Structure formats: C-alpha cells, structure tokens
Amino acid sequence: MNLPRKLIALLLCTAALLPIRAQAVSGGPEYAAADSPTELVTLDIATSAGSAVLLDASGSEIHTLWEQNADKRRGPASTTKIMTALIAAEKMPLSAKVTVTKEAVGIEGSSVYLTEGEVFTLEELLCCTLLESANDAATAVAIAVGGSIEEFAALMNEKCEELGLTDTHFTNPHGLDHDEHYTTARELGIIAAAALENEALKKIFSTYKMTVSAPEGGSRLLINHNRLLKSIDGCIGVKTGYTKSNGRCLVSAAERDGLRLIAVTLNDGNDWHDHTLMLEAGFEAYERVSLCEYTNVALPEITVTEGEQSSVRTQFAEDVYITLPKSGARIECKIECVPTLPAPISRGTEAGEIIFLSNGKEIARTRLVTAYSAAKKKEKGFWERIFG
C-alpha cells in the first residue's frame, strides 16, 4: 500500500484484550475524530489585512492553521450576505416564490435594480445577493424570510448563538455600516464553513455567471465579483465585500483532494494577492489523509467459541480522515478488542476499537467489527455420537 508522501507513521499497536460487549452494528458512523492537524506547520504568510485567518474546514471541527488579529471585531461589509444566504436556505425552500416589496427597492449601494411587484424564486434572489452583491436582493430575501429587517436580523443572531459565536452581531442582511454590526475574521470563517455545508449554497458561491429575469421580458446578467474563481485551483467561493469605513473584505474557500481551506481577510487593500498566498501556503503544507490507510495496521482475528470456524477477522467499521502536515507526522495506534466471541456471529458485530494518538494524545478513534459471519457448530446426531 502506498503511504502519503513524506509522512512517517509510528505504529504502536497494543492488543489490550479488554472485555467489550459484542453487539450487531447498525446505523451511521459512530466514531469520534479530532479532525485536526497533529502538528501545526509554521506558514510563511504576510498580509496587509487588518485581520486575517486561514482555517481547515475539512472535517467535523474547524481548526486554525494561521491567523493575524483573527479575533478583533470589525465590520464585515457585504460578506454579511453569507449569513443572509445561510438563514434563507435553512428557513425557506429555494424554489419558493418571492414578490419584491417596496421596502426592498432603491437600497443604497450595490443593486440589481429590483422593482416592486417582481417575482423571483428565493434561489434567484440569492444569486443576485451573492454574485452581484445586491443590497436590494438581500433586503427582499430578508423580508420574505423574516417578515422585516429587524426580525431577520434576530434570526441571524440566533444562528450566531447556535454556532457558538461570541464576537459577531448583525443588524441587517446586506452589511451596510452600523455600530452594532460586526464580526471577526475567525467567526466569519466559521459562518462560511457552515454555509458551505449546504450544497445548494455551495453551488451558488462557486457560480461565475448566470441570468435572471428583468422587467418587460428582459434579463439581468449576474457576474460573480470573486475573481479567485478563475485563478485558484479548486476555488468554491465565497464572498466579497467593501464599504468605505470597513475597507475591502473577502472570504474565499478552495478544495483539493478532500482538504477544504477557508481564508478570511477584513480591511485588506491587497486581498486577491493575500488570499492566493494564504490558500496556496495551506495546500502546500497540509493534506487530508485516511488514518486507516495511513497506518496500514494488521487488525486482529477474534477466537470463535462453539463455531464452525475457529476465528473471525476484524475490519474498520468506518474510516477516519484527518488533516496532517506533509512534512511528516508521528501517529501511534492502539487496538483494544475482545479475545473471544461466541457463535453464531453476524458480519459487523462489534469487537473493539482502534485509537489513534499523536504525542500521546488521542486524535481519533473508530470501531472494529467482524468482517464476516461465523455459524454455530452443529450438534452431532445420535449415530454421529456413536460412530463419529
């Protein structure tokens, strides 16, 4: 088996033979994984941003790979619309019809010049909001979903609490300046990670060009403001922003071979260059690895009592993926399993677990199950007992 290049695994596999109750396995994954780099690499990054962060959002947890004033509160400008889209997609079907109200017409800043009474699907309005950064479209979305700007902002802030954000507060869906409208680079990255989990939104974030309807049978051409979609391999979004007081704001994301990185800069006059540097540095230093393949450990066989066969092989119940530095990682693993199982045994019967460690600290684990079934030995009949 070919191990990832430049990675070094130290396999300390201990059969502890702890008594674990065997049972049939059903349902989805039940492993706990840290999903984090075991050893952080010092990335050579310098930006002109007031705040910046590079996040690994590949797994169930989000981890910081590099940061610069990442927890300082700043205005997010139109990157606010990432949260607007997330709330809308969670609260209303994208196919829902939305009629533009007079309150959404003539909003200052970026616009697609909506007129009162126009009808769109929610998805079309989100495309206007995210590609053209249209403040009027964001307002139309907020009113349709929340009933008012104030009620929609309340939904945004409830989502912040759900995500565990303590330095983010929204007052509107578009990002126009307000003293109580702020976030941090790190928390904005967490919002982007949540939004990218929605496949429909991910598709919109990564769309470069499309059209929607306009009055009198015309059409509006929407062009994504994110130029990184054309210049970064694997780029999947996310959102640009600018106001005079907050400067240029940008959230970008890219995926390569299972590794998803999110870069955020706030108040950065050279953001296109800085995001290219941040993302490329991350992909150069890290990769996403299957621990089950990486360790390539020989799994134990379990003794079968009263069975047609004497033992049964074990296998991983689920694979575990983790982000590791390409420069080398020291991984240990410990196996704990039952010594015996009574027949009959069904394929997938729980037999133990494998624990992955780095520097003595657990980073992930997954269950071991039987790879196939084992029938119970048939009792001998009367004549077999006499002559057998």
**Whether residue 133 lies in the annotated active site:** yes
Q: Which carries the bigger pLDDT value, residue 379 or residue 94?
A: 94
10 Å Cβ neighbour count for 95?
A: 8
- Is 102 noted as a catalytic residue in this protein? no
Give the pLDDT mean for 355-374. 91
Rounded-to-integer distance, Cα 288 and Cα 286, Å: 7
Domains of the chain: 1-43+287-388 (2.60.410.10), 51-269 (3.40.710.10)
**What pLDDT band is residue 15 in, cutting at 50, 70 and 90?**
very low
- How far apart CA 146 and CA 154 sit, in angstroms, is 9
Q: How many CB atoms lie within 10 A of CB 93?
A: 11
Per DSSP (E only), the strands in 105-230 are 119-121, 209-213, 219-223
Q: Which of 58, 78, 110, 358 is catalytic?
A: 78
Cβ neighbours of residue 24 closer than 8 Å, sequence gap 6 or more? 346, 348, 349, 350
Q: With CA atoms as reference, report the closest residue to 325 among 1, 3, 7.
A: 7
Give the model's pLDDT for residue 331.
86
pLDDT value of position 217: 84
Q: Answer whether 85's CB lies under 8 Å from 130's CB.
A: yes
pTM attached to this predicted model: 0.86
| pLDDT, average across residues 28-53 | 73
Instruction: Tokens for 334, please give them.
Output: 């410990």
Answer whether residue 388 shows pLDDT above 70.
no
Average pLDDT on 344-355 reads: 95
Least confident span in 21-25, 226-230, 270-274:
21-25
Please give the share of the chain, as a percent, with pLDDT higher than 70: 88
Distances (CA, A) of 51 to 135, 163, 186, 261: 24, 21, 9, 17
Q: Which of 96, 114, 91 is nearest to 104 (CA)?
A: 114
DSSP 78: G
For residues 161-182, average pLDDT: 98
For residues 173-190, give the mean pLDDT.
98
Indicate the pLDDT class of residue 383, thresholds 50, 70 and 90. Answer: low
**Catalytic member of 36, 51, 110, 133:** 133
**pLDDT tens by residue, 221-235:** 999 999 999 999 999
How, if at all, do strands 51-56 and 63-68 pair?
Answer: antiparallel
Which one is catalytic: 36, 58, 81, 334? 81
CA distance 104 to 138: 8
Higher pLDDT, 68 or 30: 68
Beta-carbon contacts of residue 315 (< 8 Å; ≥ 6 apart): 299, 368, 369, 370, 371
**Using one digit for the tens of pLDDT, what is the confidence trace for 96-135?**
999 999 999 999 999 999 999 999 999 999 999 999 999 9
Q: Tell me what the mean pLDDT of segment 199-212 comes to.
A: 97
Comparing 306 with 141, the larger pLDDT belongs to 141
CB burial string 362-384: b at 16+ within 10 A, e below:
ebbbbbbbbbeebeeeeeeeeee
Q: What CA–CA distances, in Å, run from 336 to 26, 179, 180, 290, 355? A: 20, 55, 53, 20, 8
| DSSP annotation of 150 | H
State the pLDDT at residue 387: 63
Classify residue 24 by its DSSP letter. Answer: B
| Beta strands 301-305 and 311-316, pairing class | antiparallel
Q: Is 51 a catalytic residue?
A: no
**pLDDT higher than 50, residue 211:** yes
The whole-number pLDDT of residue 30 equals: 30
The answer for 143, left when phi > 0, alpha when psi is -120 to 50, beta otherwise, is alpha
24 has pLDDT over 80: no
Q: How far apart are CA 253 and CA 183, in angstroms?
A: 18
pLDDT for 328 equals 75
**Residues 302/339, Cβ–Cβ less than 8 Å:** yes
pLDDT of residue 361: 87
| 368: helix, strand or coil | strand
